C-alpha cells in the first residue's frame, strides 16, 4: 500500500515535472482566482451600455454554453483563399513566429497577412496551451485583428474569468460575446468571422464595420456594430483607411497557436 502510494506520488510528480498541465473539469471560475481583472477608472461605454466602464470587471458574465466544435480542421469552402495551411509562413510578414506541428506559434512581434482583405468570411483556428501561469488577461492573450485594426479577442476563457469585453468572442473593449463557448486550453477552437468593412467617403465615416461571429460554432456576435479601431482603456474611434488591409494575429507575449486560416467571400447580409 505504502509502495503503491509512493509510486503514485512519483508518477504525479513526474507528470507535473514534465509540464503536463492540469486542466479544470468545469468551465467555471477556478479556486485561486479571487477576483476578476479589469478597470473601473476608464470611460463609460456608450449607451445603452453606459452603466459599465470600458473593461469593467462587474459587467455581466455571458452564460457558459456547450461548444459545438470537435477540434478538427474545417475545410475551406470553394472560392476561399487559404492563407495558412500549416506548411509555411509564406504569405505572412513575421518569419520569427515558430512553425510547429502544422501550426504557427506567436513569438515576438505582430503577424500580418501579406494579402489584404475587407469584407469577408474569415476562418481562424487557435489554441491556447494548457498550464499557462496567471489568470484573466494573462491566460493566452492574442487576437485576430480584422483590417489590422478591429480585434476579436483570443484568450482562454475555460475556467478563467476576465472582464467581459476582453473575453474570447468579444469585440475587444467594446462588445462582450453573447455566450462563453470556449473549449479547454490545449484544445483547438474555431472562429468564423463574417465582417463587413467600414466605408469612408471624402475622409468621413459613412458606414461603420459590422461583425457576426461564431466561436466553436456558437453565435457570439450578431451583426454587431464595430465602434472604431481597437483601443485599450479608451473609447474607440474611426480613422479613415483603405478598403482592404492585412489580417493581424496579435503578439501579446503568450505562445498561442494558429492553424487553418482562410478567407471566403462574405455571404451574410450585415449592417443596418
Ligand atoms: Mg488580445
Whether CATH 3.90.870.10 fits 1-25+40-272: no
Residue 17 has pLDDT above 90, yes or no: no
pTM of the model: 0.90
Distance 53 CA to ligand 1 centre (A): 18
Distances (CA, A) of 60 to 56, 104, 159: 9, 34, 16
**Considering only 25-29, 70-74, 88-92, 151-155, which range has the smallest mean pLDDT?**
25-29
- Convert the pLDDT of each residue in 98-148 to its tens digit: 999 999 999 999 999 999 999 999 999 999 999 999 899 999 999 999 999
How far is ligand 1, taken at its centre, from the CA of residue 154, in Å?
Answer: 6
Distance 141 CA to ligand 1 centre (A): 5
Q: Output the CA 5–ligand 1 centroid distance in Å.
A: 43
Q: 113 CA to middle of ligand 1, Å? A: 17
pLDDT, residue 2, reads 42
Distance (angstroms) between ligand 1 centre and the Cα of 219 equals: 20
**42-62 confidence digits (pLDDT tens):** 999 999 999 999 999 999 999
Grid cell 467571400 in the structure block, residue: 265
What 3-state class would DSSP assign to 3?
Answer: helix
| CA–centroid distance, residue 11 to ligand 1 (Å) | 36
Nearest residue to 118 (alpha-carbon basis) of 271, 27, 246, 225? 246
> Does residue 13 register a pLDDT over 60?
no
List, as own/partner pairs, every contact residues 97-103 make where C-beta atoms lie below 8 angstroms and the sequence separation is at least 24, other chains included: 100/257, 102/259, 103/127, 103/257, 103/258, 103/259
Percentage of residues of the chain with pLDDT beyond 90? 86
Going from the Cα of 8 to the center of ligand 1, the distance in angstroms, rounded, reads: 39
**Residue whose C-alpha is closest to residue 127's, from 264, 256, 245:** 256
Average pLDDT, the chain: 91
pLDDT of the residue at 27: 81
Q: From the CA of 1, how far away is ligand 1's center (Å)? A: 49
Structure confidence at residue 14 (pLDDT):
36
Task: Compute, in angstroms, the gap from residue 142 CA to the centroid of ligand 1.
Answer: 4
Amino acid at each position: 500500500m505504502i509502495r503503491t502510494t509512493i509510486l503514485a506520488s512519483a508518477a504525479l510528480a513526474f507528470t507535473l515535472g514534465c509540464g503536463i498541465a492540469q486542466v479544470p473539469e468545469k468551465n467555471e471560475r477556478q479556486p485561486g482566482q479571487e477576483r476578476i481583472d479589469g478597470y473601473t477608472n476608464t470611460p463609460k461605454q456608450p449607451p445603452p451600455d453606459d452603466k459599465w466602464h470600458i473593461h469593467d470587471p462587474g459587467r455581466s458574465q455571458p452564460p457558459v454554453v456547450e461548444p459545438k466544435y470537435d477540434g478538427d480542421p474545417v475545410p475551406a469552402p470553394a472560392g476561399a483563399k487559404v492563407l495558412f495551411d500549416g506548411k509555411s509562413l509564406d504569405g505572412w510578414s513575421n518569419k520569427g513566429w515558430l512553425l510547429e506541428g502544422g501550426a504557427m506559434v506567436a513569438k515576438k512581434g505582430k503577424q500580418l497577412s501579406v494579402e489584404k482583405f475587407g469584407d469577408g468570411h474569415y476562418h481562424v483556428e487557435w489554441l491556447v496551451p494548457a498550464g499557462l501561469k496567471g489568470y484573466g488577461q494573462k491566460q493566452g492573450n492574442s487576437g485576430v485583428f480584422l483590417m489590422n485594426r478591429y480585434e476579436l479577442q483570443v484568450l482562454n476563457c475555460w475556467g478563467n474569468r476576465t472582464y467581459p469585453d476582453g473575453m474570447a468572442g468579444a469585440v475587444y473593449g467594446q462588445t462582450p460575446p453573447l455566450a462563453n463557448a470556449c473549449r479547454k486550453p490545449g484544445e483547438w477552437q474555431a472562429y468564423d468571422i463574417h465582417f463587413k468593412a467600414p466605408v469612408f467617403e471624402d475622409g468621413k465615416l459613412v458606414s461603420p464595420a459590422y461583425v457576426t461571429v461564431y466561436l466553436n460554432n456558437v453565435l457570439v456576435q450578431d451583426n454587431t456594430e464595430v465602434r472604431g479601431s481597437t483601443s485599450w482603456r479608451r473609447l474607440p474611434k474611426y480613422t479613415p483607411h483603405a478598403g482592404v488591409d492585412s489580417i493581424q494575429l496579435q503578439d501579446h507575449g503568450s505562445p498561442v497557436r494558429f492553424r487553418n486560416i482562410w478567407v471566403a467571400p462574405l455571404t451574410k447580409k450585415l449592417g443596418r
